[in-house]
Amino acid sequence: MKNTENEMAIKFQYNKMALQGLNKQLNMRLKALPVIKNKETALRIEVKRAKTKIKDIDDELIQKIDAYSLSPGIWNEFNENLISVADIKTSTKKIAGVKTPVLEEVVFKTEDFSLFDNPKWYAQGVSIVKELGEIVLEREFFNRKMELLSYARRKTTQKVNLYEKVQIPGYNDAIRKIKRFLEDEENLSKSSQKIVKNRQQKQEVEA
């Protein structure tokens, strides 16, 4: 039979070859589903860890800013142009198959300044600005990491839902329909053979 049916976005024909193909596709998805679910779980955990880390960084940043703001007047004398970021050294780390950025080192460029013409705390001020700058950049990297992991987690969840709610039920339904058709076809063939045999026997008796 050449009729083609589209059930759950799955095209199939009513024959044994199609049945074998559908069984193969179904088994592939049944084997892959636990792996994908484990990946989804791992990504969900890593997203939560990244969010927690960002919160910790935010808390640390607030504490340090509060501590360094005890004498806000002194910062009015500080020249912010003394310090700039010269280079950011990074690497990548795979987490549950997702490439995420890692901050390795922040290289600052500090302009020359006179210790005699500026307040004594200037050198400490430079160190403080560098420290806060590193914290802010670290937060940006963890935020980017969280975004990448969250995106991957959403895509993985979509795949789990596609397999569980659409494709696996669709393949099962298609396989069931083909089996039923082939059984009906076989029963019909047997019935036809029986009718022909009975007719031949009757003719032989009459002869």
Residue 201 counted as domain residue = no
Residue 182 counted as domain residue = yes
**Residue 155 neighbours by CB distance under 10 Å:** 13
Q: Read off the CATH number of the domain in which 79 is found.
A: 1.10.287.3240
At what angle are helices 16-68 and 122-161 packed, to 10 degrees?
160
What is each CA distance from 63 to 57, 68, 125, in whole angstroms? Answer: 10, 9, 16
Residue 98 counted as domain residue = yes
Residue of 90, 133, 91 lying closest to 109 (CA atoms):
133
80 pLDDT above the threshold of 90? no
Q: In the structure, what pLDDT confidence band is assigned to residue 73 with cuts at 50, 70 and 90?
A: low
Residue 179 counted as domain residue = yes
Q: Which residue has the higher pLDDT, 193 or 56?
A: 56
Confidence at residue 111, expressed as pLDDT on a 0 to 100 scale: 83
d(CA 86, CA 10): 56
Q: In the structure, what pLDDT confidence band is assigned to residue 120 with cuts at 50, 70 and 90?
A: confident
Q: In the structure, what pLDDT confidence band is assigned to residue 170 with cuts at 50, 70 and 90?
A: very high
What count of Cα atoms within 13 Å lies in the side-chain half-sphere of residue 180?
6
Reported pTM: 0.76
Residue 73 counted as domain residue = yes
Residue 112 counted as domain residue = yes
The arithmetic mean of pLDDT across residues 14-26, rounded, is: 92
Domain range holding 173? Answer: 4-196
Mean pLDDT across the chain? 85
Residue 202 counted as domain residue = no
Q: How many domains does the chain have?
A: 1
